Structure 1
Amino acid sequence: MRRRPVPTVATALAVVLGVTVAAVQGQPLSGEYKIGVLEPLTGPLAGEGKRHLEGYEIVRDMINERGGVMGKKLVFAVVDAPDPTAAASEA
């Protein structure tokens, strides 16, 4: 299986960040941005989900090492979504 290049993962994370930052406007300020991550970490798609999470973490660490987003660190709230039904109920 072909591995996804870091730029693709970075683009996906940037889109998620844009939506997340827009959604948190008007909330009290804190020192970090918390981003929800739903990936299948168990079940038949666990391998793909774990690789996705590793990619997200690499990009998050790169962003945090460069000072974060507007001076704030990124933190993930990871939730296992082993199947589409579980993902829908957690979202």
Structure 2
Amino acid sequence: MYIDLLTKIKNAQAVKKETVKSAYSKMDERILKILLSKGYISGFEKKGKGAKRVFDIQLKYEKNNGGAITGIKFVSKPSRKMYIGYKDIRPIKSGYGFMVISTP
């Protein structure tokens, strides 16, 4: 699940790991492609076959030695779904952040 993926990335960056592994899912692959295109990770690779597939994610760090991802906020959780209209979506960090939205 993507929440687990993002939590693993956030925790790995906090302890300055170069790579992190996460279980494979199609949704996670889409999230990783977005993070890669936005420059928040250096890359990722699928490894293994069948039920043992995993992602090997290469983390990215800024020149000041901080992680490329500075904050992650989960609005919707499995225990609490959040629905929002398109008119209610506002810029993130004054236009310097981005939001990933999943539609039903």
- TM bucket normalised to smaller: 0.3 to 0.5
Higher relative contact order (CA 8 A, sep 6+): 1
**More helix by proportion, 1 or 2?**
1
- What TM-score do the two structures reach when normalised by structure 2? 0.31
The structure whose Rg is larger is 2
